[in-house]
Amino acid sequence: MALYLIGDVQGCDSALGRLLDKIDFSPSRDRLVVLGDLVNRGPGSLAALRRLQALGDGVAQCLLGNHDLHLLAVAQGVRKPHRLDTLGDILAAPDREALLHWLRHRPLALREQGVLMVHAGVLPQWSADQALALAGEVQDVLRGPHWAEFFLHMYGNSPDQWDEALTGAARWRVIVNALTRLRLCTAQGRMEFETKESPGAGAPPGYMPWFDVPGRATAQDVVAFGHWSTLGWLDRADVLGLDTGCVWGGCLSAVRLGATAGERELIQVQCEQAQVPGQ
């Protein structure tokens, strides 16, 4: 049995199908984890959701990304669609409610074969165990009876730093922002959300990629993530970055994990450009 990690699909279902064909994916022998942002910006969000849901949880696990949460918020009328969104086919689908129910029951973090998996990042103060526990707090809310109310309070950039004393909506907001939006932070874990360029393009003074913070609590773990298309493929002993800009005309990437965290095979398919950067 092989385990494949797949970067941001963002509604590029055709590319996802070609990638699964390229790795000769078999539900009877293989498993996959998609690292969030299953939908939006690409032309096949509905098809991608249906494909992944049909595989079943025993075969495919899909993390929640910021675009997936955006879909749930739009469906609840909490957020207005962005002009570049491609979510209309899901919202008008006859199986809309079943798909949204399935989506809100996806995890925000997983750990398999010694790899911690998130959509965006992990705050430097969080251990892997703590990140999983905090993700579980938000997952319980999303799967509970008052999940729709959660989206009324989810959006915002503050608090921008973790504090164990946080409670309620403020606590959940920090958790969601870290796991689904984080790119840069300070050594103390103060988050910054405006910068989307690659680290080489420069960061605000005092800020750095979350995975470069000295002494971060997950330094001895392997963390796999997506979300940062301008970063591209990142292959380090301690981190795997898998958002290679499929929706922007880059590649859709999968990594086959071996028996140890150091055994990795990258498989990619070239994608047709669905969006123009900077629009």
Per-residue model confidence as pLDDT tens digits over 139-150: 999 999 999 999
Query: Does residue 259 surpass a pLDDT of 80?
Result: no
> Could you give the 3-state DSSP secondary structure of residue 74?
helix
Tell me the per-residue pLDDT of 63-112, one tens digit each, with 9 for 90 and over: 999 999 999 999 999 999 999 999 999 999 999 999 999 999 999 999 99
C-alpha triplet 207, 108, 275: angle, nearest 5°: 70
Mean pLDDT score, 247-271: 92
Cβ neighbours for 26, distance < 8 A, ≥ 6 positions apart: none
Q: At 234, which helix (H) or strand (E)?
A: strand 234-235
Mean pLDDT score, 216-237: 97
Confidence class for position 200, pLDDT limits 50, 70, 90: confident
Tell me the per-residue pLDDT of 59-76, one tens digit each, with 9 for 90 and over: 999 999 999 999 999 999
Tell me the per-residue pLDDT of 265-279, one tens digit each, with 9 for 90 and over: 999 999 999 988 766
C-alpha to C-alpha distance for 211 and 227, rounded to whole angstroms:
13
pLDDT averaged over every residue in the chain = 96
Tell me the per-residue pLDDT of 31-54, one tens digit each, with 9 for 90 and over: 999 999 999 999 999 999 999 999
Q: At 209, which helix (H) or strand (E)?
A: strand 208-209
Query: Does residue 261 surpass a pLDDT of 80?
Result: no
Confidence class for position 228, pLDDT limits 50, 70, 90: very high
> Which of the four CATH numbers 3.30.540.10, 3.10.129.10, 3.40.720.10, 3.60.21.10 does domain 2-270 have?
3.60.21.10
**Per-residue model confidence (pLDDT) at position 263:** 86
C-alpha to C-alpha distance for 198 and 24, rounded to whole angstroms:
32
**Per-residue model confidence (pLDDT) at position 14:** 98
CA-only gyration radius of the chain, Å: 17
Mean pLDDT score, 177-200: 95
Query: Does residue 258 surpass a pLDDT of 90?
Result: no
Confidence (pTM) = 0.96
Specify the residue for token string 């509905």.
Answer: 46
Q: At 14, which helix (H) or strand (E)?
A: helix 13-22
Specify the residue for token string 């997936």.
Answer: 68
CA 21 to each of CA 25, 59, 61, 136, 167: distance values in angstroms, whole numbers, following the listed order: 6, 16, 18, 33, 45
Tell me how crowded residue 84 is: count the other CB atoms within 10 A of its CB.
12
Tell me how crowded residue 225 is: count the other CB atoms within 10 A of its CB.
31
Specify the residue for token string 């199986």.
Answer: 95
Where in the chain are the domains?
2-270
**Per-residue model confidence (pLDDT) at position 278:** 62
Tell me how crowded residue 211 is: count the other CB atoms within 10 A of its CB.
23
